[in-house]
Chains A and B, each alone.
Chain A
């Protein structure tokens, strides 16, 4: 149980285009979703926190107009990388806490974005 399905797993796009990444909670309701970015050989860095039905909270240095987050339902959160540039190439991961189970977070399988 407690699975977050993340798609696509891998995407290559041209500079200037936008890419949408989806994370769906399959068997639980994700009121909160965390979005991380991970560069090669580095640790996960939190980008933003989304709560269902409200605006996302972005970490310092993360452009909210570039990384659009939508959390319109309890089972779906999306991250859209707008006007992507090569420096946006990274591994993006979503994560949701399991309500009622303190400290247990389930993670998506990640999306490898390559901007060419």
Chain B
């Protein structure tokens, strides 16, 4: 799986949009971009994933650049409960191999 690079931490004011970047310059054509998050002392939670097109669901939006070398997870209206470590993971959708977690980005949402 391709390597990803994320900033170690970010701050966001409650109610504002949180934009979390991820670089994956070595991504290959059949690799998807996944985002998971882990709230303190809980198991990780799936957020969203995509291949080429931008994706949106009830939790977030995923913007993937045209060359697919980077992506941004957008939480449109961050709340205090969105404070968590956000992991960007790149992997091939083949079989049920494990997810490999990097260090992620610690997002702190403040009042």
Contact = CB atoms under 8 A, between A and B. Distances in A.
Interface in A59-116: 91, 93-95, 97, 99, 102-110, 112
B41 interface: yes
A44 B44 contact: yes
Nearest to A2: B46
A112 B41 contact: yes
B40 to A, nearest CB: 10
Contacts of B98: 34, 46, 49, 95
Interface residues of A, number: 26
A110 B43 contact: yes
A102 B94 CA distance: 8
B41 A95 contact: no
Given A32-B96, A34-B98, A107 B104 contact: no
Task: Tell me the interface secondary structure of chain A in the complex.
Answer: strand
Interface of B: 32, 34, 36, 38, 41-46, 49, 87, 91, 93, 96, 98-104
Interface of A: 4, 6, 31-32, 34, 43-46, 49, 91, 93-95, 97, 99, 102-110, 112
19 contacts: A6-B43, A31-B96, A34-B98, A43-B102, A44-B38, A44-B44, A45-B101, A46-B100, A49-B98, A91-B41, A93-B44, A95-B99, A102-B32, A103-B32, A103-B49, A103-B91, A107-B45, A109-B43, A110-B41
